[in-house]
Chain A
Amino acid sequence: GAVVSQHPSRVICKSGTSVKIECRSLDFQATTMFWYRQFPKQSLMLMATSNEGSKATYEQGVEKDKFLINHASLTLSTLTVTSAHPEDSSFYICSARDRQGGVGELFFGEGSRLTVL
């Protein structure tokens, strides 16, 4: 199946700093990528839809100025958590669909575990 790579897998930062997470589709082009957030033992909550070459679409309650999304190419989307605070600590996962194959399933990156001290 299609492969989505996410980096970094773990990051620890101080409160007030910004953290960038990269999501790459390795063997297919993804015009759309999705960013999810997951707290321990909870479900995946969609944060935003990343659209190549245009602005991201954010879900209700997600601050676009807090979570900056850039989708500059067909294989790369980035999520930047700006001025991170301890409450931003979470597991962030990106995902994408391979429009050329499959049944429309999502392929997920490995996830990035953010810890804000």
Chain B
Amino acid sequence: GQQVMQIPQYQHVQEGEDFTTYCNSSTTLSNIQWYKQRPGGHPVFLIQLVKSGEVKKQKRLTFQFGEAKKNSSLHITATQTTDVGTYFCARSSGAGGTSYGKLTFGQGTILTVHP
């Protein structure tokens, strides 16, 4: 199937350290979305990347889309305890990869931050 592979599965960091999670696809992606799920909560949309080589920033979060549109990464600078949660990438898997098709999620990276 059209899966996205996400690594690592777990990441434990000390507060103040950086964190990165990676998503890889064997096929070209039309776009990729990132979500954050706090423990016990529901996923919340963070961002969507569409263009080859695109880089977007949200405060301490940096999102990248690979030149070949087959991989993406989320980098958090100087993690804080509020960053704790599971970060998922997701690809459109509907027909034609339209924005309104269904999403297939990566396995997620569980981030824990030790104060």
Contacts and interface: CB of A to CB of B under 8 A. Distances in A.
Contacts of A107: 45
B107 interface: yes
Contacts of A32: 100
- Give the interface size class of chain B: 20 to 34
A1 B108 CA distance: 23
Q: Main SS of the interface on chain B? A: strand
- Give the interface size class of chain A: 20 to 34
A43 B100 contact: no
Given A41-B86, A103-B48, A110-B42, 15 more contacts: A1-B45, A32-B100, A42-B107, A43-B88, A46-B102, A99-B100, A103-B99, A104-B31, A104-B92, A105-B33, A106-B35, A106-B103, A109-B42, A110-B41, A111-B42
Interface of B: 31, 33, 35, 41-45, 48, 86, 88, 90, 92, 98-100, 102-108, 110
